[in-house]
Amino acid sequence: MDDGKLDEVRETAREEKPKYLRPSECRTLMRRTLSKEFKGILDGFVAVAKEGSCPHLKLAVELLKPDRKGPSRKKGTATKYLEMLEREEREREQLKKEQLAAG
């Protein structure tokens, strides 16, 4: 077989195999692409919203709202311990009141 033909077959075989990206590579590619094109995307978005596109205007208003979810709900060990001590103190006081009322 001719070396030229063999090289041609090898090139064709290489071209047909698509290279799949891992999920982390997809996210990285998306972030890089968006960061490079962000100004153009934003300019186009604002231009369409200025023309009166209701969905674009609604999304623009929603994006401008601050994203406040409130304080973290997780409590530290010290806070949990303090709450446990306070709860035990209330239970002791309640028990004393019940004993005085009964006796």
Q: What is the pTM of this model?
A: 0.38
Question: Using an 8 Å Cβ cutoff, are 60 and 45 in contact?
Answer: yes
∠ CA(76), CA(77), CA(78), 5° rounding?
Answer: 95
Two tokens, residue 55: 């969905």
Q: What is the pLDDT along the chain (103 residues), one digit of tens a residue?
A: 456 666 776 666 565 566 788 888 888 988 999 899 888 888 888 888 888 877 877 877 787 777 767 666 777 888 888 899 999 999 999 999 988 888 7
